Amino acid sequence: MRMRLLNVMCVWSIVGFTVSDRVVHGDDFGPPLPNTEKLALKGDIASYLVDGVDRFLLRELELSVKRREAFWNRDTTSEAKFDASIKTNRDRLSHMLGIRDARANAAPQIIAEVGQTSAIDIPGGIATPIRWRVFREYHAEGWLLEPTINSKKVAPTANVVAIPDADQTPEQIIGLAAGVAAESQFARHLLQAGCRVVVPTLISRQMTKRNGRANLSNREFVYRSAFELGRHLIGYEVQTVQAVIDWFHNSGESKDPVVGVMGYGEGGAIALYTAAVDTRVDAVCVSGYFDSRQNIWSQPLDRNVFGLLQQFGDAELASMVTPRGLVVEISQGPEVTLPGQGGAPAELKSPKRESALREFARFRGLVPKFSGKPNRIHVVDELEAKADKCNRGVVRTFLRTVVANVKIDSKEIDAVNLPDATARQDRLVAALDRHNQWLLRESPFVRKEFMKQLDLSSVEKYSQTVERYRDIFREDVIGRFDQPLLPGKPRTRQIAETDKWTRYEVVLDVFPDVIAYGILTLPKGMQDEQRPVVVCQHGLEGRPQSVIGEEQFQYYKAFATKLAERGFITFAPQNLYIFKDRFRTLQRKANPIKKTLFSIIVPQHQQIVNWLKTLPNVDGKRIAFYGLSYGGKSAMRIPPLVTDYCLSICSADFNEWVLKNASTRHPFSYVWTGEYEIFEFDLGSTFNYAEMAALICPRPFMVERGHFDGVGWDEWVAFEFAKVRHIYNARLHIPDRCEIEWFVGPHSINSTGTFEFLHRHLNFPRPKVEKPAKP
């Protein structure tokens, strides 16, 4: 129910109850609360709040560059000591990229039908379509190029993985198919320089409507499930390259093979990441990619790496290649616009020359100088030279970092009949999806192992051992800004009054440019009494007004007002998830610095609770949280970290959350929807909703669930809740503190069992039942 801004006495009827309400108009607000300043903000305060958070996050992104040095302890006294000193950085990068699955260490297989050969004689060698096992059942596909002289195979001068952009096929950079200029067919140049070359297929940016709903690129489709499960498409493709390097080393042709990796566009990214984490790469060439990563939030979502910019930019990644060979080609990169029709809107622009050169200069400032070593670091500025990208000169510069004499006999290749590239792409996407779904099935066992240090022998021991997990949740899942809260400086104004309550808008300072905003409703007649508070949280695209009145009444049933009329003090905060892409890009900006929306929302709520405790009629030990939908998501994430909340009620959201985010089988999965910000890194290995509820325990916890709520199916809600119930009831013997209410209804507040739960656990008397008036 939403109040109309009229400076008159009005009568307002809401589903069975009527109140007489005085509301205010324009600047004719009532007085502020005692000990607060007058709130003077005009316009849409929610919009002001979101804009302020945007400024704060952009500033934090900019500051991340200077702050990275704290994560490094480079020892430049020798190559060996340098390599050892950055091992923890390599390990951390591998973790961020989800490089966790054991590689198969198997030789490639030739793709051919029985009785036929698939090898193609081309100028300078033989091209053979191959596949190779990367991990478990996932097989990558591509081409093997082997050098020949007079049609006989010869020992290669080097072994190179040549990686095309995501929207190029291996055949195009070999020259077997049209689409890439002859001078830019770098896989062919490498072969004709005498190299053995493997050319993998990357997952493409092809857009497809998934399950009849969100229009996602192939890359974002694989990314979504993988990210939730602690993996990453980048990590999968790095491991694809590493599996080839395994074969180079294990094929028996050389005890110490020379290994290089060269890539363009997305292939350049994979090449750089591979060389940074794998010291077996002797040289790397990165084309059409190297740049500042400060705008990674605007690029395709599959480039989003949780925590990347906290420790790594391209300069830091390049420094991890030292003293091995590195060639950075500043060239025209791929340019793509993704429409955001359910997927994340994004724009991929070619690196600007000035920006790329600045990042390269920053890299040179990080590079140790080892005495007696030849220069193996080169920048090739093809934008300035206006030359073709990945040309023979670039390939020659790259190979000379590991090979003394380089000669490239360039001959173009005639077009031939080729495998179906579309069918191959579909196979690879389906295979990675199958791997993600296997990880999803295994994830409960991984989480059980993760939580095994929780001592369930008593409430006291539980409360002690759960703190370790609370720290992990705060630091590694939600993300914490290492700065103190500002003084709240509360500003208020009275906006409404009835014979039962008075209502105020409240604004508090949290961080620079970050405020908290909400609506406080104070019941009348409290005098010196201290009462409990219920913080009533709206859902997606909601506002504080959503929980107090007519606005979105079908979902919220004005539950904040109903509770106030029962005598509870209520506070309805404005959370960040409003204005669609405006708030979703906040998540994009937060993730690269290892933060999330809740890295802001949690401090906002801490500041709200801190202020509520200063009010004379508030009992600071009886402040509860009750949220619907995205507010239910908040109920699972805020009370675990704002422990001043004495209980939490999750309405219309509780679920087998990892399944809901990662499944490509269930129709209620977020994989199919436009909530591209919803995915949280590595929840599959750490915190599903049962584990989050464990961080609320032993405080009271309740779930409100409508049988016809489309956010999930009853059986999955019950499955996840049973694990919570087991902790409270069977292990800690406090069954009265954990409940679920099932009701026949949709995605909405029911306000029956939950209101009773609040009265009981907040130790607040129920309203007297009025007898019906006699006719």
Indicate if the pLDDT at residue 149 is higher than 80: yes
Q: What is the pLDDT of residue 371?
A: 54
Q: Would you say 707 and 745 are in contact if contact means Cβ atoms under 8 Å apart?
A: yes
Q: What is the pLDDT of residue 367?
A: 83
Q: What is the pLDDT of residue 329?
A: 97
Indicate if the pLDDT at residue 6 is higher than 50: no
Q: What are phi and psi of 766, to 5 degrees?
A: -75, 150
> Stretch 183-201: mean pLDDT, rounded?
97
Q: Would you say 578 and 50 are in contact if contact means Cβ atoms under 8 Å apart?
A: yes
Q: What is the pLDDT of residue 151?
A: 87
How many C-beta neighbours within 10 Å does residue 529 have? Answer: 11
> Stretch 706-724: mean pLDDT, rounded?
98
* 506: enclosing H helix or E strand: strand 501-511
Dist. CA 67–CA 365, nearest whole Å: 15
Q: What is the pLDDT of residue 14?
A: 33
Dist. CA 471–CA 63, nearest whole Å: 24
Token pair 């489709």 in the structure block, residue:
221
Q: What is the pLDDT of residue 372?
A: 54
Indicate if the pLDDT at residue 774 is higher than 70: no
Q: What is the pLDDT of residue 52?
A: 98
pLDDT tier at 719, thresholds 50, 70, 90: very high
Q: Would you say 415 and 177 are in contact if contact means Cβ atoms under 8 Å apart?
A: yes
Residue 729: is it exposed, middle or buried by C-beta count within 10 angstroms (0-12/13-18/19+)? Answer: middle
> Stretch 484-509: mean pLDDT, rounded?
98
Better-predicted residue by pLDDT, 116 or 366 = 366
Indicate if the pLDDT at residue 410 is higher than 90: no
* 276: enclosing H helix or E strand: helix 266-277
Dist. CA 450–CA 684, nearest whole Å: 11
Q: What is the pLDDT of residue 373?
A: 62
pLDDT in tens, 573-587: 999 999 999 999 999
Dist. CA 5–CA 25, nearest whole Å: 5
pLDDT in tens, 539-574: 999 999 999 998 899 999 999 999 999 999 999 999
Q: What is the pLDDT of residue 728?
A: 98
Better-predicted residue by pLDDT, 2 or 346 = 346
Quick one: tokens of 257?
């093979």
Q: Beta partners for 738?
A: 701
> Stretch 679-688: mean pLDDT, rounded?
98
Dist. CA 309–CA 64, nearest whole Å: 6
Q: Would you say 261 and 284 are in contact if contact means Cβ atoms under 8 Å apart?
A: yes
Q: Would you say 531 and 519 are in contact if contact means Cβ atoms under 8 Å apart?
A: no
Q: What is the pLDDT of residue 642?
A: 98
Q: Angle, nearest 10°, between helix axes 630-637 and 689-696?
A: 60
Dist. CA 29–CA 493, nearest whole Å: 6
Q: What is the pLDDT of residue 7?
A: 32
The rounded radius of gyration (Å) of the Cα atoms in the chain is 30
Quick one: tokens of 490?
């509360």
> Stretch 633-648: mean pLDDT, rounded?
98
Average pLDDT, the chain: 93
Percentage of the chain lying above the pLDDT 70 cut:
95
Helix (H, G, I), strand (E, B) or coil at 680: coil
> Stretch 28-37: mean pLDDT, rounded?
93
Q: What is the pLDDT of residue 318?
A: 97
pLDDT in tens, 39-77: 999 999 999 999 999 999 999 999 999 999 999 999 988
pLDDT in tens, 117-128: 689 999 999 999
Cis peptide before 108 (omega within 30 of 0): no
Measure Cα distances from 26 to 41, 382, 519, 766 in Å.
Answer: 12, 60, 17, 37
DSSP secondary structure string for all residues of 328-385: EEE-----EEE--SBS--EEE-PPPHHHHHHHHHHHHHH----TT----EEEEEHHHH
Cis peptide before 765 (omega within 30 of 0): no
List the one residue out of 49, 44, 42, 3 whose CA is nearest residue 577: 49
Helix (H, G, I), strand (E, B) or coil at 614: coil
**Within 577-688, where are the H helices?**
581-590, 597-612, 630-637, 657-662
User: What letter represents residue 585's amino acid?
Assistant: T
Measure Cα distances from 265 to 231, 351, 366 in Å.
Answer: 21, 10, 24
Q: Would you say 537 and 628 are in contact if contact means Cβ atoms under 8 Å apart?
A: yes
Nearby residues of 418 by Cβ (< 8 Å), 6 or more positions away: 171, 176, 177
Q: What is the pLDDT of residue 161?
A: 98
List the one residue out of 286, 220, 242 whose CA is nearest residue 99: 242
pLDDT in tens, 625-639: 999 999 999 999 999
Dist. CA 721–CA 267, nearest whole Å: 44
pLDDT tier at 421, thresholds 50, 70, 90: very high
Q: What is the pLDDT of residue 4?
A: 33
> Stretch 430-451: mean pLDDT, rounded?
98
Q: What is the pLDDT of residue 458?
A: 98
* 196: enclosing H helix or E strand: strand 196-200
What single-letter DSSP state applies at residue 457?
S
List the one residue out of 608, 670, 678 whose CA is nearest residue 638: 608
User: What letter represents residue 669's amino acid?
Assistant: S
How many C-beta neighbours within 10 Å does residue 768 have? Answer: 6
Indicate if the pLDDT at residue 99 is higher than 60: yes
Residue 85: is it exposed, middle or buried by C-beta count within 10 angstroms (0-12/13-18/19+)? Answer: middle
> Stretch 10-30: mean pLDDT, rounded?
45
Token pair 């390049």 in the structure block, residue:
318
Indicate if the pLDDT at residue 771 is higher than 60: no
Q: What are phi and psi of 239, to 5 degrees?
A: -65, -30
User: What letter represents residue 349's amino acid?
Assistant: K
List the one residue out of 475, 466, 285, 295 whose CA is nearest residue 390: 285
> Stretch 438-446: mean pLDDT, rounded?
98
Dist. CA 219–CA 303, nearest whole Å: 9
Quick one: tokens of 739?
């409940």
> Stretch 185-196: mean pLDDT, rounded?
97
Dist. CA 535–CA 520, nearest whole Å: 9
Report the first-to-last Cα separation within the chain, whole angstroms: 30
Nearby residues of 68 by Cβ (< 8 Å), 6 or more positions away: 309, 310, 311, 312, 313, 316
Indicate if the pLDDT at residue 171 is higher than 60: yes
Phi-psi region of 85 (alpha: psi -120 to 50; beta: other; left: phi over 0): alpha
